[in-house]
Structure 1
Amino acid sequence: MLELTILGFLAEEPLHGYVLKERIKALTGHVRPVSDGALYPAISRLVAAGKLDQHTEPGTSAAPRRMLSLTDQGRADLLERLRHPKPAEITDQVRFNTVLAFLRHLPDRREQAAVLRRRLDFLQTPASFFYRDGDPVRAEEADDLFRQGMLRVARATGEAERAWLEEAIARLDPPQPN
């Protein structure tokens, strides 16, 4: 996900490494903070793979700044990652939000809709945080106030997300008249 996030932000504009880190932190920070020990090796891997270009510019103080930009190969990789998100990038809310943050870079609206359909299909499957005898426990069946709260909030969030996904899919890939 870190590489997808790096590619996604650099598809919008070249950035200094520190600014890139701040944008990543704003997107996922409190849930999945990014450390220098993860970010800079990921940047180095992407540069070595020819997906990012880096050059040095004079800094506002005295130190030069390392500027990063996306190469054509990096853009192609970003688009491929957006077209075919991994299963965990569909099922995990934070990872899916990362895909969603950059899905606009995918130029084909039907391909965008296909990604949203995968998420909608996942959300249509009955699930719960808790199970009893192999069956999902609904909020009304939870045996304590706190689990009831978790389940009610998850249900409301899921309903809102499913409604938005259905609206977005209809706008991106409207049904064709017979």
Structure 2
Amino acid sequence: MLELSILGFLYEEPLHGYDLKTRIQGLSGHIRPVSDGALYPAITRLVKAGLVEQRTEPGKSAAPRRILSLTEAGRGELLARLREPKEAEITDGQRFFTLLAFLRHLPDRSEQSAVLRRRQAFLDTPASFFYRDDKPLSAEEAPDLFRRGMLRIARATGTEEKKWLSEAISTVEGNGGS
């Protein structure tokens, strides 16, 4: 997801590494903090792959700054990753949020809709954190207060996400408002 975030933010505008890190941290928050030890090697991989380029500009004070920007190949890579996200980017909530942050860059609304429909299909599959006899437990069946809480929160979140997905798909496909 780090590389997707880098490509997505650089698609929007060239950035200094520190500014890029700040935006990625704002997106992922406390859940997945970004260290320099992860960010800069990822940038280096993308530069070596020809997806990102670096140039040096004068700094606001005395030190020069390295500015990162997306190459045409990088733009194509971002769009390909958005068009065909990995299964984990659909099934993991935080990864899906990262995908959503940049999905607007796909110019084809039918491709946007296809991604949303994949998430919708995943959410429509019965699941639980806990099982008994290979059947998912509902919040009401959970054995303790804390597991009941987990399941109730997940159910409420899932209900709202399903509602939003239906609205978003309708809008993207031209059947609803903005």
Same fold (TM > 0.5): yes
Query: Given the two structures, how large is their TM-score scaled by the length of structure 2?
Result: 0.96
What is the distance in 2 between the residues matched to 1:85 and 1:127? Answer: 21
1:53 aligned partner, one-letter code: E
Q: Could you tell me how far 1:15 is from its partner in structure 2?
A: 0.4
Q: Deviations over 1:40-74 (max 9, x none)?
A: 01101111111111101111122111100111100
Any unmatched runs of 5+ in structure 2? none
Any unmatched runs of 5+ in structure 1? none
Q: Which residue of 2 aligns with 1:168?
A: 168
RMSD value, Cα: 0.9
1:151 aligned partner, one-letter code: L
What is the distance in 1 between the residues matched to 2:67 and 2:169? Answer: 37
**Are positions 1:79 and 2:84 aligned together?**
no
Count of aligned residue pairs for this structure pair: 175
Query: Given the two structures, how large is their TM-score scaled by the length of structure 1?
Result: 0.96
- Give 1:60-75 correspondences, 5 Å limit: 60-75=60-75
What is the distance in 2 between the residues matched to 1:174 and 1:152? Answer: 33
What is the distance in 2 between the residues matched to 1:167 and 1:60? Answer: 45
What is the distance in 2 between the residues matched to 1:44 and 1:29? Answer: 23
What is the distance in 1 between the residues matched to 2:162 and 2:108? Answer: 22
Q: Which residue of 2 aligns with 1:28?
A: 28
Q: Deviations over 1:70-93 (max 9, x none)?
A: 111000000000000000000000
Q: Could you tell me how far 1:29 is from its partner in structure 2?
A: 2.9
2:34 aligned partner, one-letter code: V
What is the distance in 2 between the residues matched to 1:39 and 1:4? Answer: 12
